[in-house]
Amino acid sequence: MALIEAKGLTKEFRLFRRREGVLGAFRDLFVRDYKTLKAVNGIDFTVEKGEMVGYIGANGAGKSTTIKMLTGILVPTSGTVFVNGFVPYKEREAYTMGIGVVFGQRSQLWWDIAVIESFKLLRRIYNVPKEDFELRLKKFNYLLDLDNFLHLPVRKLSLGQRMRCDLVAALLHNPQILFLDEPTIGLDVLAKARIRDFLKEINKENKTTIILTTHDLGDIEALCSRVAIIDKGIMLYDGQVEDLYRRWGHDKLEDIIKRIYQGDIPELKENAGGVRLA
Amino acid sequence: MREGFALPRTIGAVDMGGRLLNRIILYLELVRMEFVNNLAYRSTYFTGIFNYSIQIGAYYFLWDAIYAGGKVIGGLNREEMITYVIVAWVARSFYFSNLDRRIALEIVEGKIALELIRPYSYQMVKYARAFGEAIFRMLFFAFPAGLMFSVVRPFGLPPDVLSAVLFIIAILGSFAIYAQISMLVGFVVFFTKSTTGIYKAKRIVMDLFSGLLIPITFYPQWAIDIIKLFPFQAVSYLPNMIYLGKATKAGALNIIALQAFWIIVLWIACSLVWRFAVKHVVIQGG
Amino acid sequence: MKASSSFRKKAVRYFMIFSHYLAQYMKTQMAYRADFMANVFSELFQQSINLIFIAVVFAKVPQIQGWSRDEIIFIYGFFLVPFGIYGGFLNHLFDVPEKYVLQGEFDRILIRPMNTWFQVVIETMKPELLMGSLTGFALMYYAGTSLGISPEWWDIPIAVGLVVGAALIYAGVYTFLASLGFWTEGNIGLMPMVYNLSHYGRYPMTIYRGLTRFLLTWVLPFAFVGFYPATLIMHRYEYLNYALLTPFIGIITFVIGYRVWTIGVKRYRGTGS
């Protein structure tokens, strides 16, 4: 069985439309006017152990909703999902022991306490043996150069430093899968490069499976051999990055993605293996 | 949306009278804007009315039980006391303002520096906006709440029209004094750099010494002598005495004059603290 | 056998995590020592409002509906003990609608392998407010001495049971109110209302009439966070049946509150907002 297996994964939201005016507000009290929105509409998705998959899409395309379903935050409306042997939303506590999650927009560290103390708290939460903890921390420290700010509270860190710490925090328990939601958002060129190198290293060394959403195609080019493109809740493309270049006979990823968003998905002339058409 | 507003343009070389008029128009415009802004957020006020009902209820039951013997305590009989409680709280819903929190926040977040480069009086802008909110609360909060309570538990009205008018004037004075005290409390943050404890301290002092919870006459004489040296009782206790008809006409005018005195004193105090703070704290980048 | 040992393991793990949080909290507070002290002292002085009220009123009247000054102070003292627990650990459930639901911080809670309610409580606790309970003990000691109450050994286990029951009432009610945030997605101002209502519990129920008294006993049971249990420790037995109900009311209230919490979390995970 693959590490991540989603079939027909669907998430609908009911949007409450407020009526206008005092009379409308009064009617809203009794009969609400709902509109159903399919944020994710029946996507199939398989990821093998050790893969590094880029997940891209415009704002509101359904990326975050998918990630939230895969991490067990959201319960799907329909479809099935198995990750790491669990149904994420059913056995949340046991399941989250084996995954790491980083939200680029929001730190998971405790704002007021020193970074190292945050890590120690996480060690308790994830039941990490002391020796493993120290070994990993040493390695991460070597890779990310944390020493200078390990004893500062998170609120005093720069965005790049904070992101490095958030990555470490998500990896201290050596999770099978790492989910990253826009991990390089707002970072400068150097900080981005540093994080990309780190992720490559982690993936290579620990065989950690990495799923990342991003708006920065540089992340995809640097990290992922495979990319999934979603728009309006529907998977438009899921396959090797190389095949993208080949199919379009083009070498600028940005242009290719733009055209896919516009609905232009040409058939591949010679069907190279491993291409999955959604 | 709540913060930004356009200023009427001031044109150079206007005579003093014109400038003053200009200013007054500006501040009136601010009053109006804050009023309209509050209209947009009115839903929170409905829960506010219930919240006041619960507070009034607590003290109503308490005083009702205290007066079970039916005698006169501290110069008030049972009915007067219940009227006192309800009027004190309903009036509070008008004169109350959270200027201290707003100002303290601006100081802590450093936004105050932005205010300094604007061509208006910082304090007047704050008062104007607080007043806009107060008018809103009078119309949509104090009046309906008062009406509601008069149905649930009828309470007394002022003895005559003149007392009612004087009471309303006195309540305007309460607003001014309360706002000025709040302003001073907010300014404390210039010096302490932290808000912890300040609001609570103000709350304790105002609740106890304005007469909101206990009429001043209940205190022992030595305490009354001390309380009289401060402006707090002019916020709640003294206006309530006008409402209850416990002050003679001359006494009522005296109360209003006393309020005017405190408004001037507090005005001077605010200006001095403001000037000192701007010079010594803000400029030094404190 | 196996179930019980895994429960024990879990309890130990949660206790360890809690102690770690507590230690960290204290460490950060030491960084703002002045604020910390100001917070503690203003909490203690906060109680002076009601004490001065009692002192001033009883200088004018000998008793309120048969309750003497010291009895009222004793009830208030007892009231402050569970109230301190509430202040230290539950007051900031207040943050749930705005911070956790509206701003989406709850996502972060859901990706950690721990109970969600426990996480929110330890993230928002302000244990220094537990100091308020000390005022309560002091007042009970003072009033109890002047009332000539001689404590028996069994007063201690009973008092513990009553305090735990009362704290569970706070926990249940505020968990319930916080959970409403999963539906309202933002504050609707109910919490300050209920906070003020909870203060009704510091006076004898005999001063409240009709609907109010019924409400405080059976709907939002704040009669059980102060008055009823306090009478038992005061060795006044007219309300014995009510007082003994305190732990049960506490358990029921908490079970209801926690149940609504789990339904609210379910809703959050269904709608993600």
Amino acid at C171: A
Q: Are A250 and A256 in contact (CB under 8 A)?
A: yes
Measure CB to CB from residue A89 to each of C108, C113, C269 and give the nearest one: C269
| pLDDT score, position C9 | 87
Per-residue pLDDT of chain B (286 residues; tens, 9 = 90+): 334 444 444 444 446 667 778 888 888 888 888 877 777 665 666 777 888 889 899 999 999 999 987 788 888 999 999 999 999 999 998 999 888 888 888 888 877 777 777 777 888 888 988 998 888 888 888 888 888 888 888 888 888 999 999 999 999 999 999 999 999 999 988 888 777 788 888 888 998 999 999 999 999 999 999 999 999 999 999 999 999 998 888 999 999 999 999 999 999 999 999 888 887 765 444 4
Q: Are A50 and A44 in contact (CB under 8 A)?
A: no
Give the separation between CA C129 and CA C175, rounded to whole angstroms.
Answer: 19
A101 CB burial (10 A radius; 0-12, 13-18, 19+): buried
Give the separation between CA A163 and CA A170, rounded to whole angstroms.
Answer: 11
Residue with tokens 């080019």: A221
Q: Are B188 and B269 in contact (CB under 8 A)?
A: no
CB contact under 8 A, A92 and C110: yes
**Cα A227 vs. chain centroid, distance in angstroms?**
12
Hey, is the C-beta of B77 within 8 angstroms of any chain C C-beta? no
Interface of C with A (CB under 8 A): 13, 16-17, 20-21, 24, 27-28, 31, 104-105, 107-108, 110-115, 266, 269-273
| A130: Cβ contacts below 8 Å, ≥ 6 apart | A123
Helix (H, G, I), strand (E, B) or coil at B39: helix
Q: Dump pLDDT digits (tens) for C38-90.
A: 878 887 788 888 999 999 999 988 889 889 999 999 999 999 999 999 999 99
Q: Dump pLDDT digits (tens) for B27-41.
A: 888 888 887 777 766
How many Cβ atoms from other residues are within 10 Å of residue C194's Cβ? 17
Pick the CATH number of A49-261 from 2.60.130.10, 3.30.70.100, 3.40.50.300, 3.30.413.10: 3.40.50.300
Give the separation between CA C209 and CA C219, rounded to whole angstroms.
Answer: 15
CA-closest candidate to residue A65, choices A14, A11, A101:
A11
Helix (H, G, I), strand (E, B) or coil at C89: helix
| pLDDT score, position A24 | 64
CB contact under 8 A, C192 and B64: no
Complex prediction ipTM: 0.88
The three-point CA angle A239-A244-A247 to 5° equals 120
End-to-end, the C-alpha distance of chain C in Å comes to 40
CB contact under 8 A, B73 and C48: no
Tokens (6 digits) for C150: 């001689």
Tokens (6 digits) for B228: 């009289």
Whole-angstrom CA distances from B210 to B89, B171, B203, B223, C150 are 12, 13, 10, 13, 40
Tokens (6 digits) for A59: 């704002």
Chain A residues within 8 A of C32 when measuring between CB atoms: none
CB contact under 8 A, C24 and A113: yes
Residues of chain C with pLDDT under 50: 1
Measure CB to CB from residue C17 to each of A99, A112, A124 and give the nearest one: A124
Cβ-based contacts under 8 A for chains A and C: 69
pLDDT mean for each 10 residues of chain A (278 residues): 90 77 64 81 92 89 91 92 93 93 87 89 92 94 90 90 94 94 88 92 92 90 90 88 79 80 64 44
CB contact under 8 A, C188 and B219: no
The three-point CA angle B279-B281-B285 to 5° equals 110
Give the separation between CA A271 and CA A243, rounded to whole angstroms.
Answer: 10
What's the whole-model pTM score?
0.87
| pLDDT score, position B2 | 39
Give the separation between CA B236 and CA A161, rounded to whole angstroms.
Answer: 54
Hey, is the C-beta of B29 within 8 angstroms of any chain C C-beta? no
| pLDDT score, position B148 | 85
Helix (H, G, I), strand (E, B) or coil at A6: strand
- E strands, chain C, are 63-64, 67-68
Taking the CA of residue B45 and the nearest CA in chain C, the distance in Å comes to 9
Tokens (6 digits) for C23: 């230690």
Hey, is the C-beta of B49 within 8 angstroms of any chain C C-beta? no
